[in-house]
Amino acid sequence: MRPTDFTLAGAVAALAEGAISAEELTRAHVDATLSLNPKINALITVTAEQAMDAARASDARRARGEAGPLEGIPLAIKDLFCTEGVQTTAGSKILEGFVPPYESTVTSQLKRDGAVFLGKANLDEFAMGSSNLTSAYGGVLNPWSRRNDPDARLVPGGSSGGSAAAVAARMVLGATGTDTGGSIRQPAAFCGIAGIKPTYGRCSRFGIVAYASSLDQAGPFARTVEDCAILLRSMAGFDPKDSTSADRPVPDFAAACGRSVKGLRIGVPREYHIDGMPPEIERLWRQGLDWLRDAGAEIVDISLPHAQYALPTYYIVAPAEASSNLARYDGVRFGKRVTEAGSDLRDLYERTRAAGFGPEVRRRIMIGTYVLSAGYYDAYYLKAQKVRALIARDFREAWGKVDAILAPATPSAAFAEGENSDDPVQMYLNDVFTVTANLAGLPGLSVPAGLDPQGLPLGLQVLGRPFDEETVFAVGTTLERAADFKHLPGMRAGA
Partner 1 sequence: MSLDTATVRRVAALARIRLEEDEVARVQGELNGILGWIEQLQAVDTDGVEPMSGGTPEGIAAMPLRDDVVTDGGQAAKILANAPDREGEYFGVPKVVE
Applying CB under 8 A, the span of 37-45, 284-292, 353-361, 480-488 interacting with partner 1 comes to: 353-361
Report the site for partner 1 in 213-232 (rule: CB under 8 A).
213-215, 217
Give min distance, CB of 375 to partner 1, in A: 10
Q: Is 397 in the site for partner 1 (CB under 8 A)?
A: no
Q: Which is nearer to partner 1, 35 or 373 (CB)?
A: 373
For partner 1, the closer CB: 33 or 183: 183
Closest separation in Å from C-beta 62 to partner 1: 32
Q: 441 in the Ramachandran plot: left (φ > 0), alpha (ψ -120 to 50) or beta?
A: left
DSSP secondary structure letters along 265-302: EEEEEGGG--TT--HHHHHHHHHHHHHHHHTT-EEEEE
306 interacts with partner 1 by CB under 8 A: yes
Q: Which of 228, 256, 440, 491 binds partner 1 (CB under 8 A)?
A: 440
| Contact predicate 191/248, CB 8 Å | no
Query: Among residues 365, 432, 435, 445, which is the contact residue for partner 1, using CB under 8 A?
Result: 365
Please name the helix (run of DSSP H) or strand (run of DSSP E) that holds residue 110, with its range, or none.
helix 105-112
Between CA 408 and CA 286 the distance in angstroms is 10
Letter string b/e over residues 442-480, b meaning 16 or more CB atoms within 10 A of that residue's CB: bbbbbbbbbbbebbbbbbbbbbbbbbbbbbbbbbbbbbb
E strand or H helix at 13: helix 8-17
**C-alpha separations of 1 from 4, 36, 229 in Å:** 8, 20, 24
Q: Closest approach of Cβ 316 to partner 1, in Å?
A: 6
Among 366, 377, 397, 401, binds partner 1 (CB under 8 A): 366
What span, in angstroms and rounded, lies between the C-alpha atoms of 26 and 34?
A: 12
> Which CB contacts under 8 angstroms, 24+ apart, belong to 84-89?
86/45, 86/47, 86/50, 86/117, 86/120, 87/44, 87/45, 87/120, 88/120, 88/209, 89/44, 89/45, 89/120, 89/136, 89/137
Interface of this chain with partner 1, residues 187 to 206, rule: CB under 8 A: 199-201
From the candidates 145, 163, 183, 323, give the one annotated as an active-site residue. Answer: 183
Among 7, 50, 303, 339, binds partner 1 (CB under 8 A): 339
Q: Please confirm, yes or no, whether 135 is among the known catalytic residues.
A: no
Q: Which of 58, 159, 204, 446 is catalytic?
A: 159
The Cα 216–Cα 234 span in angstroms is: 18
Q: Please give the residues from 446 up to 485 whose contact with partner 1 meets the rule CB under 8 A.
A: 466
User: From residue 93 to residue 112, what is the string marking binding to partner 1 with x (rule CB under 8 A)?
Assistant: ----xxx-xx----------
> C-beta of 345: minimal distance to partner 1 in Å?
5
Minimum Å gap between C-beta 359 and partner 1 is: 8
Stretch that binds partner 1, among 24-32, 64-72, 147-155, 383-391 (CB under 8 A): 383-391
Buried (b) or exposed (e) across 135-171, using 16+ Cβ within 10 A? bbbebbbbbbbbeeeeebebbbbbbbbbbbbbbbbbb
Of the listed pieces 42-50, 110-118, 146-154, 365-373, which binds partner 1 according to CB under 8 A?
365-373
Q: How far is CA 345 from CA 324, 337, 338, 342, 430, in A?
A: 19, 11, 11, 10, 39
Q: Which stretch binds partner 1 (CB under 8 A): 34-42, 56-64, 305-313, 481-489?
A: 305-313
Residue from 126, 285, 315, 415 touching partner 1 (CB under 8 A): that is: 315
Tell me which of 425, 453, 481, 494 binds partner 1, using CB under 8 A: 425
Shortest distance (Å) from residue 185 CB to partner 1 = 17
183 classed as catalytic? yes
Residues 241-270 that bind partner 1 (CB under 8 A): 243-244, 247
Instruction: Give the DSSP H or E segment for 476.
Output: helix 469-483
- Do 280 and 245 touch, CB atoms closer than 8 A? no
Residues 155-194 interacting with partner 1 (rule: CB under 8 A): none
Binding segment for partner 1 (CB under 8 A), chosen from 65-73, 121-129, 238-246, 484-492, is: 238-246
Among candidate residues 21, 78, 120, 197, the one labeled active-site is: 78
Which of these ranges, 34-42, 109-117, 437-445, 452-460, lies near partner 1 under the rule CB under 8 A? Answer: 437-445
Quick count: other Cβ atoms within 10 Å of Cβ 39?
Answer: 11
Judged by CB under 8 A, does residue 334 bind partner 1? yes
CB of 315 to partner 1, least distance (A): 6
Q: How far is the CB of 489 from partner 1 (least distance, A)?
A: 34
What's the min distance (Å) between Cβ of 235 and partner 1?
Answer: 17
| Dist. CA 336–CA 153, nearest whole Å | 31
Q: Which of residues 4-33 bind partner 1 (CB under 8 A)?
A: none
Spatial distance between the Cα atoms of 349 and 324, rounded to a whole number of angstroms: 15
| Helices marked H in 295-414 | 310-325, 345-356, 359-372, 383-398
Known catalytic residues?
A: 78, 159, 183
